[in-house]
């Protein structure tokens, strides 16, 4: 039995509430169990220097956590530098979103997706990708409605889920308790058609085998399929 009473292949309840910001071009509040992430997409008619003049757009992401999103209060990042963990996560979110964007269809404009964790209970980077995609998609919709963009630059869904080996068994969508006890922890980012975008597997303590990794991939495919359905329902 998992600590939460869930089945091995059972996601936490997912809800995606859109339009939560009066300012952002696209926004949603995604809740995966007790993990809550506010995603806000900002559209700007400018691109970073290395893109300028290329005719291509740019999509980037930033990630943050409120100091008391966690069980123990963390030092506010504005008072330190961004941690390595934070930078690693926001680079991952950015690459994941860009993987499904046709930057030429977007044209020379930039979309920044801010993913701010209001409450954390494991899986914040995955929730950020899944919710971030919704915010991005809504911002792009606005752009298409205004006629600034002709064809949809978001060419597929992208969603993410974690798997792990907990108590010797392969499980889907780890919450904080499982995550801190798991021997292996892996994040899978996939498109709507289950193409692999990003894989990150990491052993803590024991190593893992190719077979175990294969079974985690099976679970991830079923999880991402459900998350993509939730994205569709939210739009």
The dihedral through the CA atoms of 82, 87, 93, 95 has a sign that is positive
- Of 49-57, 91-99, 160-168, 227-235, the segment contacting a copy of itself by CB under 8 A is 91-99
Q: Smallest gap, in angstroms, from Cβ of residue 133 to a copy of itself?
A: 14
Q: Give CA–CA dist 155/97, Å, rounded.
A: 11
- 23 touches a copy of itself by CB under 8 A: yes
* Binding to a copy of itself, residues 167-206 (CB under 8 A): 186, 190-191, 195-203, 205-206
List the one residue from 51, 56, 66, 177 that touches a copy of itself (CB under 8 A): 66
Which 3 state secondary structure label does DSSP give 176? Answer: helix
Give, for 217, the enclosing helix (H) or strand (E).
Answer: helix 210-234
Place of tokens 């997912």: 14
Closest approach, Cβ 172 to a copy of itself, in A, equals 17
Q: Between the CA of residue 205 and those of 185, 187, 202, 210, 226, what are the distances in Å?
A: 11, 18, 10, 16, 31
Q: Work out the burial of residue 94: count CB atoms within 10 Å of its CB; fewer than 13 is exposed, 13-18 middle, 19 or more buried.
A: buried
Let me know: does 180 contact 210? Beta carbons within 8 Å.
Answer: no
Of 13, 88, 148, 180, the residue at the interface with a copy of itself (CB under 8 A) is: 88
Query: What is the closest distance, in whole angstroms, from the C-beta atom of residue 7 to a copy of itself in the complex?
Result: 23
**Selected binder of a copy of itself within 48, 53, 78, 150 (CB under 8 A):** 78
Does 77 contact a copy of itself by CB under 8 A? yes
Q: What does the binding site for a copy of itself look like in residue numbers (CB under 8 A)?
A: 21-24, 27, 34, 38, 40, 42, 44, 62, 64, 66-71, 73, 76-88, 90-91, 95, 99, 112, 114, 116, 118-119, 121, 186, 190-191, 195-203, 205-210, 213-214, 217
């Amino acid at each position: 039995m998992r600590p939460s009473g869930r089945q091995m292949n059972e996601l936490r309840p997912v809800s995606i509430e859109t339009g939560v910001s009066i300012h952002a071009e696209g926004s949603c509040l995604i809740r995966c169990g007790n993990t809550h992430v506010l995603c806000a997409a900002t559209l700007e008619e400018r691109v970073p220097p290395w893109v300028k003049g290329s005719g291509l757009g740019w999509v980037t992401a930033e990630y943050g956590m409120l100091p008391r999103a966690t069980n123990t209060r963390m030092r506010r990042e504005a008072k330190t530098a961004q941690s390595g963990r934070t930078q690693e996560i926001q680079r991952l979110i950015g690459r994941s979103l860009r993987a499904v964007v046709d930057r030429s269809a977007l044209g020379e404009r930039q979309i920044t997706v801010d993913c701010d964790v209001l409450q954390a209970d494991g899986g914040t980077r995955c929730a950020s990708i899944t919710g971030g995609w919704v915010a991005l998609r809504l911002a792009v919709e606005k752009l298409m409605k205004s006629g600034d963009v002709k064809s949809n630059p978001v060419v597929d869904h992208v969603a993410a889920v974690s798997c792990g080996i907990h108590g010797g068994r392969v499980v889907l969508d780890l919450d904080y308790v499982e995550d801190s006890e798991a021997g292996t922890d892996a994040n899978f980012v996939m498109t709507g058609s289950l193409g692999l975008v990003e894989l990150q597997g990491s052993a803590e303590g024991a190593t893992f085998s190719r077979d175990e990794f294969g079974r985690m991939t099976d679970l991830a495919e079923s999880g991402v399929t459900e998350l993509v359905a939730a994205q569709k329902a939210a739009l």
